[in-house]
Amino acid sequence: MTTAEPTEPSGTETGIRLTGRGVAVFAALAAAVVALALVVPALADRFQSANGGVLLSDVAKGWSHTVLHPAYWVFLAVLALLEWRWPARRGEGLLSTGGAQDLAWLLLAPFFTLTLVAGYVHVLDALYDGPLGGTALDVEGTLGTAVAFVLAFLLADFFMWFSHWVRHKVPPLWRFHQVHHSQRAMSALTDNRVHFFESIVSATLAYVPARLLGLGDEAALLLALGTVYFTGFTHANLRTNLGPLRYVVVTPQSHRIHHSTQEPHWDKNFGAICSIWDRLFRTQYHPADEYPGVGIDDQDFPLEHSTRPAAVLATYGRQLVYPFRKVAADLRR
Ligand SMILES: [Zn+2]
Ligand SMILES: [Zn+2]
């Protein structure tokens, strides 16, 4: 196995040079979104109420606390600077063709998570509260708020690990998860490249345990936001394994291994926040100094090649439809 050099370009990925124009476009976009948040607070409230109280990171990613919140854009700007200063590999990062495509996934995701996915979770709510009687354990009353929060955190993190493992091991689900892995340029936005069908799968797997634990809206939101920021960081194009912290948490280096194009790295490091599940279930890749190129080996996948807005949108549509086409083709075989 080879260890990648830091200056080696990643596959066919073409990096966007940090030009004044690029920074201006990025800043204008961020300013437009922040202005939107200020002008339409009711919109933000609506997004929040559609997602609050669900212990599932993908569904609970409300726009009001991410895209429509200045803190998220400051977070991205800081990571862009860190990526520029300490890149895992040159040509990757936020200012790349892949970064532009991830931005489309970030901005367009709410159309599905706030409609199809939220609607699906409401159906689960109705089933759970109706025929299943809405059973919940009073963990907070019995063990106290702090213990209940830690338990909920560990439960949520375990189910993110488990759901991720399932999406790799069940072939039709891999077709959808493949979209996330299609990125050839890791960046702080890559975790937004998630097909809405994956959110439905995650919601289904974690629903009953999350409801049983009965976490309140505020704690659920805190968990969801913590996950958004942390997984943003672990997807960034950063050359760090966080030293001894890597034995407890996922790092930009360990998650890059998960996205690697090299076969020895496949089906390793499924963790979202804690690395303990991978260590427990023997799916951890132990060497912590490799920074391989990333992507998938699928010649048919509609990869992005341009940062022109029309091309990015067209590619987004093709990437969204591709898993359905692929599953249908698999079934016909
Ligand atoms: Zn994966
Ligand atoms: Zn990932």
- Concatenated DSSP letters of 106-161: HHHTHHHIIIIIHHHHHHHHHHHHTTTTT----HHHHH-HHHHHHHHHHHHHHHHH
pLDDT digits (tens, 9 = 90+) for 180-239: 999 999 999 999 999 999 988 988 888 888 888 877 777 777 888 888 899 999 999 999
**Taking Cα atoms as reference points, which of 4, 15, 12 lies closest to residue 94?**
15
Between the CA of 234 and the centroid of ligand 2 the distance, in Å, is 8
Between the CA of 164 and the centroid of ligand 2 the distance, in Å, is 10
Between the CA of 139 and the centroid of ligand 2 the distance, in Å, is 32
CA 70, 75, 77: angle at the middle one, nearest 5?
A: 95
Between the CA of 169 and the centroid of ligand 2 the distance, in Å, is 16
Between the CA of 2 and the centroid of ligand 2 the distance, in Å, is 22
For all residues of the chain together, what is the average pLDDT? 83
Between the CA of 14 and the centroid of ligand 2 the distance, in Å, is 20
Contact yes or no for 185/97 (Cβ under 8 A) = yes
Q: Which residues sit opposite 274 in a β-bridge?
A: 249
Between the CA of 270 and the centroid of ligand 2 the distance, in Å, is 9
Between the CA of 101 and the centroid of ligand 2 the distance, in Å, is 15
Ligand nearest to the CA of 187: 2
Ligand nearest to the CA of 183: 2
Between the CA of 191 and the centroid of ligand 2 the distance, in Å, is 6
| Lowest mean pLDDT, pick from 47-61, 101-115, 124-138, 284-298 | 47-61
Q: Which of 136 and 77 is assigned the larger pLDDT?
A: 77
Confidence of residue 119 (pLDDT cuts 50, 70, 90): confident
Q: Domain-by-domain residue ranges, the chain?
A: 20-332
pLDDT at position 213: 81
Q: Which residues sit opposite 249 in a β-bridge?
A: 274
Where is mean pLDDT largest: 24-28, 177-181, 211-215?
Answer: 177-181
pLDDT digits (tens, 9 = 90+) for 105-117: 988 887 787 778 8
Ligand nearest to the CA of 173: 1
Confidence of residue 21 (pLDDT cuts 50, 70, 90): low
Between the CA of 129 and the centroid of ligand 1 the distance, in Å, is 32
Q: Which of 268 and 58 is assigned the larger pLDDT?
A: 268
Between the CA of 285 and the centroid of ligand 2 the distance, in Å, is 15
- What's the whole-model pTM score? 0.84
Ligand nearest to the CA of 230: 2
Between the CA of 266 and the centroid of ligand 1 the distance, in Å, is 9
Q: Which of 18 and 302 is assigned the larger pLDDT?
A: 302
Between the CA of 193 and the centroid of ligand 2 the distance, in Å, is 9
Confidence of residue 67 (pLDDT cuts 50, 70, 90): confident
